[in-house]
Copies of this chain bind each other. A is one copy, B any other.
């Protein structure tokens, strides 16, 4: 299998962590791809019309997206229940918490594009403030849920790792560690896992 990949993509990081944790990383070739807003990449758009990272290209040529579905697929390949509980209320809590991290990442990328990619005279503070508030309020939500941070390793925690790592990477001065000491402790603990440590984004 091939995974389209960039070390800067928090969504690609999520799948990489999941692939390591499920023991499948050796079956996956990381294939570099570069995408950016307002920049065509016709070659890559043929693979996925969304022009987003990552997608998983199966050996039969089928293309699987998005990052969450790829993680579900890897989890099933590995026997199931490794990163996503298979039943009960905990299953839905973990899936919903993961969706929250997904939306936080979407908002953080929109802030990144607004503040660093869009031509400066066209920036709208109301837009980036709104999206930053969503990400920040999401962090506050997780700070108030110690049971989520202490649960057995799962996809919601991976999502949260990718959120916090992306905050370090692109918004280094945002102050999340001071504002959210429980998330800080959580991230430090997660960084003891080789999958999390090896996938930290490169210096910005």
Residues from chain B with a CB closer than 8 A to the CB of A72 are: 95
Residues in A lying within 8 Å of B, measured CB to CB: 37-40, 45, 48-52, 62-66, 68-69, 72-73, 89, 92-93, 95-96, 99-100, 102-104, 106-107, 113, 118-119, 121-124, 126-127, 129-130, 133-134, 137-138, 140-141
Residues from chain B with a CB closer than 8 A to the CB of A37 are: 126-127, 130
Residues from chain B with a CB closer than 8 A to the CB of A73 are: 92
Residues from chain B with a CB closer than 8 A to the CB of A140 are: 49
Residues from chain B with a CB closer than 8 A to the CB of A63 are: 96
Give Cα A148 to B62, complex, Å: 14
Which of B39, B49, B96, B103 touches A52 (beta carbons < 8 Å)?
Answer: B103
CB A106 to nearest CB in B, in angstroms, measures: 7
Interface of A is mostly: helix
Beyond A40-B133, A49-B134, A122-B122, 10 additional contacts (C-beta under 8 Å) are: A38-B129, A45-B133, A49-B100, A49-B141, A50-B107, A63-B96, A65-B99, A65-B103, A121-B122, A122-B123
Pair A62/B93 contact, Cβ less than 8 Å: yes
CB A28 to nearest CB in B, in angstroms, measures: 16
Pair A137/B45 contact, Cβ less than 8 Å: yes
Q: A69-B92, A129-B38 are in contact. Are A134 and B62 (CB under 8 A)?
A: no
Which of B66, B92, B93, B129 touches A102 (beta carbons < 8 Å)?
Answer: B66
Closest to A46 in B: B137
Pair A138/B50 contact, Cβ less than 8 Å: yes
Closest to A96 in B: B64
Q: A37-B126, A37-B130, A119-B124 are in contact. Are A69 and B95 (CB under 8 A)?
A: yes
